[in-house]
Structure 1
Amino acid sequence: MYHTHALQERITKGLAELNIPEQPANLYDPIRYMLHIGGKRIRPLLTLMAADLFSITHMDTAVPAALAVELFHNFSLVHDDIMDNAPLRRGHTTVHEKWNPNVGILSGDHLLIMAYAQLATCPGDNLTAILETFNTMAAQVCEGQQLDMDFERAVTVGIDEYLHMIRLKTSVLLGAALKMGALLARATETDAQLIYDFGVDVGIAFQLQDDILDVYGDPAQFGKQRGGDILANKKTYLLVKALEMADATMRTELDGWLADPSNPSEKIAQITAIYDALGVRSEVETAKQRHVKQAYTALDAIRADDRRKAPLRELAQALLNRGQ
């Protein structure tokens, strides 16, 4: 088995060794910038951890797939930031703000091309399954982003619709990252699907935890402004559930605050008070724990030694307990 730190070092080394040209600078400098400001590299780490779980013969075989996952993730972030008009990413100026939106679009496109270049180096007998997994995930992420934007204009969104959206936008990338590592390590079809399911449910639980932390988390630990989703009228599980549970009087009050941008701090306080009165935090916690249970059930069913599963369980617990 590999130590998690050793796998992280392989990812860092692989990214540093990418052949990124110097010119044209406005195409390639933003790519270097985006990869440099980095992140925790959780998604590519999952690919290598899955490969290690199933005792891959040569870990280097799985590194290109892990790099493809990271390159795709960064492609999606660059484009998402443009669509959201976000000024910051990972505490740094976003690409479209530092350069301009056209540069962001084109540099993001090239990150996707780089991801496919990495996939092309995967073993030939695995390539079809790897590409099918990657392409399905990529299409679903786009679908999830579109649904998220559609929800901004929708008057009502159901809980099942919201969960479907976050599954596509956030969770399938975690599942696909794990499944590709499993496929490269010659896991059975059943085990590859189980580890995919594990990743998807961890991803959904992760997003539900994110929804909770936006309202109730400590900004110093969470790293984001408290109530940011409330100020953006973002349809989180908390808001969707509150709109579903509220009676006519409370619904009128909630709608009033959603329509009022004049006093941000009061808006956060009043909507939080409505959430507290309705008990929606416990509803989100219950939904989160349901997906945590489903994730661990899938992990337990994988035919591998429990000691080899331990690092994945520990990583999942760290992700789901952040900000607490």
Structure 2
Amino acid sequence: MSYKQVDHLISTPHGQLAVRQQGTEGAPNILVLGGISGGREVYTQSGEGWWQGLFRDTDLLRYNVWSLDYLGGMGASSCAVTPGSVELQAQAVEEALLQLGVKHLHALIGGSYGGCVGMALVAASKLSVARLAVLGAAHRATAQAVMLRSLQRDFIELAEQAGDAERGVVLARALAMVSYRGTTGLDARFSDAAGAIDFMHQRAQRLVQRDPWQARRLFTEFGPALDAFRVAPQRVQVPTFLLGFKDDLLVPPHVLNELQGLLPRCWAYDEVATAHGHDGFILNTAVFGPRLQEFLEDV
């Protein structure tokens, strides 16, 4: 297998989208979409990709894999105004892929925010998508998730009023870290709670230091888009693999059970018993990878 990696910068009506193509040229196309802070660096040959395990545990490099930096998110994509909805983000992705000559996807794999974008794209797309994997995402937001994201925006607003705008973004990200991780995992990892507090703030600071303005938009613009997101599951007319995670505060089992019952072609709904909560979609690829690979290969 000959590995290839190419970066593209594609102009769409919404802005310029940074898209990465990697894997095996000429093989079936797979689009991989991550969370709000996840970009096109899903896999690197040096082993530093943020979703490295997904490629290792599902043998993704034998496909022609596409990934991207979201418009208005972290990374090299640029736009005057961040798309105000998940649906507009999906339209930008579709427009970029069509410009690149990609009209058919063997699969779309979406984790967290990317799962919502994936459902929106499949529900109203000019692209032909053969199958959809939705990892840690659902067709609507839960009340608890909306409450958490509202508090994040409150932190930012209060800090800006106090003259310390960057501090507000750090606190918003810190609260996000609490919601991303499972309660049992954090308790097992940190016997001293002070260590958990340091971890929370260090991880928050790391993101904000990359680009404070881009990081701010994750909470002020992507957050409301997630709050308002709704897709009629009946419109997702492709085989769909749903994956949920134990202790996921953002996408709990009850909303995924609801989605499973409404999808016309639910291939399976699996729940991973993980201590990592919502971040299980990144950290537990060794557990669900073989099942996802089975889904990708199912004819």
Which of 1 and 2 has greater Rg?
1
Which has the larger share of strand? 2
TM > 0.5 fold call: no
